[in-house]
Amino acid sequence: MKIDGVPYRTIWVNEDGRSVEIIDQTALPHVFRTVTLKTLEDAAAAIRDMLVRGAPLIGATAAYGICLAMRDDPSDDALDAACRTLAATRPTAVTLRWALDEMRGALRNRARDERVAAAYARAAEICDEDVAISEAIGEHGLALIREIAAAKPPGEPVNVLTHCNAGWLATVDWGTATAPIYKAFNAGLPVHVWVDETRPRNQGASLTAYELGHHGVGHAVIADNVGGHLMQHGMVDLCIVGTDRTTATGDVANKIGTYLKALAAHDNGVPFYVALPSTTIDWTLADGVAEIPIEQRSGDEVSRIAGRTDAGDIATVTITPAGSPVANYAFDVTPARLVTGLITERGVAEASREGLARLFPERAGEGA
Amino acid sequence: MKIDGVPYRTIWVNEDGRSVEIIDQTALPHVFRTVTLKTLEDAAAAIRDMLVRGAPLIGATAAYGICLAMRDDPSDDALDAACRTLAATRPTAVTLRWALDEMRGALRNRARDERVAAAYARAAEICDEDVAISEAIGEHGLALIREIAAAKPPGEPVNVLTHCNAGWLATVDWGTATAPIYKAFNAGLPVHVWVDETRPRNQGASLTAYELGHHGVGHAVIADNVGGHLMQHGMVDLCIVGTDRTTATGDVANKIGTYLKALAAHDNGVPFYVALPSTTIDWTLADGVAEIPIEQRSGDEVSRIAGRTDAGDIATVTITPAGSPVANYAFDVTPARLVTGLITERGVAEASREGLARLFPERAGEGA
């Protein structure tokens, strides 16, 4: 997507053909800066310190980490060590592990002098495949937005509500929840996005607002408390959110608070869509609320907030009373009954075992 | 209620019998300090600058503002001017206007040399009446908590979720939503409170957490996004919130986000109670969503957050990207169908025209 008119991906190989450039997302939304990765350790640190985040982008960065490692030492031992180092940066990231397996598969049976070129080729493919998936999600979602736009008075914007950042900054390009929005915007449809700030980490206020604004998409940041009121008053035409994990029955684990928006959408007849690459589907799970463990994170994420001071520095302030305990649950599960449809790279599925099985017949038996 | 073992009200007359002391709520939760009001202008500034907030406390402060004005000049002109000055501090505050009318009624037909004493007497009554209403709400709510506690294994805490601050700091003492909690705590029942931080102004994280913690009540601050997840997992036994305005049919306008918690409570079979003095009931309203206008406030409340730095200063940081628009709706309406009961000073009413009419037969005809 574009930042102030210039097209970007979140990760790319520089003109030297070796080093890899990323956007330092820890500095957003206050400062835009890129960082050059020249070594395996640079790539590992970028993931560990969350300069890159979002499952697809973490996978792509790990893939390029293997490329950088191979430049230094293309041996089997070095490949194994690099995979270990990168896997340890975010131990629970499934896509990271998948990307490392892909890279190992592409390199293992190759001569050492071919490994560098093969690594860059496979890493580029991983990125392009991710972009293709996002674009396919975007096209399927665009059809939904088009339909809603056609039913509104001409020129009136389609109001989309989204939660957290399932945007292009979380992927290589386009994003998942945002892909339909960018497709609609690029096609000249009038769209306006309500951006949940998404406490406690504020990924909506910092990342989604940044990327929409800099691409030129009309939007407004709102407190997470506001969406229900907007839906009561006809100010939301559809919700689109992402998902971290989806059950074979269509339950969706996503950033904490997603469930509350799904309830409000259901109560007000607003369509509630979840956009996802099919890789997030766990075909062995049948009951999201009962089976998906919800991570508890540090209370500091709730009690301490970072932002820029009026002097332009970045500072952190504490908002809770000294001594008050804080609880910080990171995700919640939205039951399939509240989900209008799952926008996948193959099309829009009903959020049910049958709906998903129709689109992914080759996977649907895995949980049985 | 107590602050670290010492009983307080939010407003009181000092030992000099003249000046009035308040807690400076703008400094909470980081600093506890009281401020002495010696003149009408001191009282007006305390309301205008939100050193005091919450309808009952604003009313009480305005009443004492009249006392202070009468000390300077007990004339009719001075009384009128003082009422005008105080009414202008928060033009939409209904309770403020009510308190001024009460004071005017108590003073108008009195000799000038009796007015100072009469003013202090009526202001003290207004405070005591508010405390009596809160205590009555507390006793009726306590019965509900007792019932839930009796159904749980002995010693297991009753988990209450609350939103915003309908606490003792918003009233003269006890609060509305918190009154049942303090009554339960003081009676030795095990209670634990989930405190919604309540973005954008964070009254939960700053005020409710402060007052519960300093009285000794177990609690945890949570992001507003968390309540649904807790209710899905049986971690909330009941919700109690306040209300700014209640329709004759039991719809409730309260701090933005209340509606989302009511939806989650309904979806999970968790009782959802609203605590209110009957003065918040507008007997002329029948449909809260359609009829109650929702105030939009400055976007700065969303984009800028104040807290204490690690160095101990109070600082404000901006969390949104430069140039991103912000929308800030202050309240939402929870339809009566989602409300289990209205806890009033006369008892618990079903949230319906019939339920309210049974408790307040003398008022129920007003909207007809």
Q: What is the CATH number of the domain that holds A329?
A: 3.40.50.10470
Residue of A nearest to B213 (CA): A324
> What pLDDT does A92 receive?
76
Dihedral pair phi/psi, residue B214, rounded to 5°: -75, -20
What is the per-residue pLDDT across B248-277, written as a single tens digit (0 to 9) for each?
A: 999 999 999 999 999 999 999 999 999 999
**B177 closest CA partner among B272, B242, B259, B251:** B242
A 10 A CB-CB count for B25 gives 24
Q: Collapsing DSSP states into helix, strand and coil, what is residue A342?
A: strand
The share of chain B scoring above pLDDT 70, in percent, equals: 99
Query: Is residue A342 less than 8 Å (CB to CB) from chain B?
Result: no
Co-location of B242 and B354 in the same domain: yes
Q: What is the mean pLDDT of residues A256-272?
A: 98
Q: Are B200 and A199 in contact (CB under 8 A)?
A: no
> What pLDDT does B175 receive?
98
Q: Whole-number mean pLDDT of chain A?
A: 96
Co-location of A61 and A34 in the same domain: yes
- Per the annotation, the verdict on A49 as an active-site residue is no
Chain B closest CA to A250's CA: distance in Å? 17
Q: For residues A142, A145, A146 and A150, what is the CA-based torsion angle, rounded to 10 degrees? A: 180
Residue B364 within any structural domain of the chain:
no
* Strand B218-222 relative to strand B191-196, pairing: parallel
> What pLDDT does B365 receive?
79
Distance CA A122, CA A102 (A): 8
Task: Kindly list the catalytic residues of B.
Answer: 244
The shortest CB-CB distance from A319 to any of B205, B229, B304 is to: B205
> What pLDDT does B127 receive?
98
Predicted structure pTM score = 0.96
Residue A70 within any structural domain of the chain:
yes
What is the per-residue pLDDT across B15-69, written as a single tens digit (0 to 9) for each?
A: 999 999 999 999 999 999 999 999 999 999 999 999 999 999 999 999 999 999 9
B308 to chain A: which residues are within 8 Å by CB?
A: 317-318
Co-location of A236 and A310 in the same domain: yes
Q: First-to-last CA distance in chain B?
A: 40
In three state form, how does the secondary structure of A252-299 look?
A: EEEECCHHHHHHHHHHHCCCEEEECCHHHEECCCCCHHHHCCCCECCC
Residue B365 within any structural domain of the chain:
no
CATH number for the domain spanning A120: value is: 1.20.120.420
Residue A344 within any structural domain of the chain:
yes
Q: Token pair for residue A361?
A: 């017949």
Co-location of A146 and A117 in the same domain: no
Please provide the DSSP assignment of A161-180 as one string: EE-S--SGGGSSSS-STTHH
Annotate B344-356 with b (16+ C-beta within 10 A) or e (fewer). Answer: bbeebbbbbbebb
Co-location of B98 and B143 in the same domain: no
Q: What is the mean pLDDT of residues A97-121?
A: 97
The shortest CB-CB distance from A260 to any of B195, B228, B324 is to: B228
Which domain-ending residue is among A128, A147, A165? A128
Cα within 13 Å of Cα(B64), Cβ side: 29
**B320 closest CA partner among A23, A198, A302, A270:** A198
What Cα–Cα distance (Å) separates residue A138 from each residue in A142, A329, B184?
A: 6, 30, 53
A window 265-294, beta carbon within 8 A of B? 267, 289, 294
Query: Is residue B256 less than 8 Å (CB to CB) from chain A?
Result: yes
Q: Are A319 and B197 inside 8 Å of each other by CB?
A: yes
For A142, the domain range is: 137-359
Co-location of A54 and A161 in the same domain: no
pLDDT band at A87 (very low <50, low <70, confident <90, very high): very high
* Most B CBs within 10 Å, among A229, A239, A296, to test the B interface: A229
What is the per-residue pLDDT across B68-83, written as a single tens digit (0 to 9) for each?
A: 999 999 999 999 999 9
With 90 as the cut, is the pLDDT of residue A348 above it? yes
Distance CA B169, CA B56 (A): 10
Count of positions (residues) in chain B: 368
Co-location of B120 and B162 in the same domain: no
A227 to chain B: which residues are within 8 Å by CB?
A: 260
Q: Are A189 and A158 in contact (CB under 8 A)?
A: yes
Q: Are A119 and A103 in contact (CB under 8 A)?
A: yes
More confident residue, A165 or A365: A165
Residue B367 within any structural domain of the chain:
no
With 70 as the cut, is the pLDDT of residue B189 above it? yes
Q: What is the mean pLDDT of residues A174-185?
A: 98
Which domain-ending residue is among B128, B147, B169? B128
A207 to chain B: which residues are within 8 Å by CB?
A: none
B window 289-318, beta carbon within 8 A of A? 289, 294, 299, 302-310, 315-318
Co-location of B122 and B171 in the same domain: no
Distance CA A271, CA A350 (A): 12
Residue A46 within any structural domain of the chain:
yes
Q: What is the mean pLDDT of residues B210-219?
A: 98
> What pLDDT does A368 receive?
59
Cα angle B236, B161, B2; round to 5: 125
> What pLDDT does A93 receive?
78
Q: Are A222 and B326 inside 8 Å of each other by CB?
A: yes
With 70 as the cut, is the pLDDT of residue A247 above it? yes
> What pLDDT does A124 receive?
98
Which domain-ending residue is among B110, B128, B146? B128
* Most B CBs within 10 Å, among A28, A208, A226, A298, to test the B interface: A226
> What pLDDT does B359 receive?
97
Q: What is the mean pLDDT of residues A225-248?
A: 97
Q: Are B232 and A29 inside 8 Å of each other by CB?
A: no
What Cα–Cα distance (Å) separates residue B109 from each residue in A72, B87, B123, B124, B126?
A: 95, 21, 17, 19, 19
Q: What is the mean pLDDT of residues A237-259?
A: 97
| Least reliable range by pLDDT among A89-98, A123-132, A281-290, B330-339 | A89-98
> What pLDDT does A263 receive?
99
Co-location of B300 and B344 in the same domain: yes
> What pLDDT does A365 receive?
79
With 80 as the cut, is the pLDDT of residue A182 above it? yes
Co-location of B112 and B145 in the same domain: no
> What pLDDT does B76 receive?
97
Number of domains making up chain B: 2
Residue A367 within any structural domain of the chain:
no
Distance CA B291, CA B289 (A): 6
Co-location of A170 and A305 in the same domain: yes
Q: What is the mean pLDDT of residues B171-194?
A: 98
The shortest CB-CB distance from A210 to any of B223, B224, B321 is to: B321
Residue A364 within any structural domain of the chain:
no
A 10 A CB-CB count for B142 gives 22
Cα angle B256, A199, B180; round to 5: 50
**B300 closest CA partner among B335, B328, B323:** B328
Co-location of A155 and A238 in the same domain: yes
What Cα–Cα distance (Å) separates residue B67 from each residue in B38, B55, B314?
A: 10, 19, 34
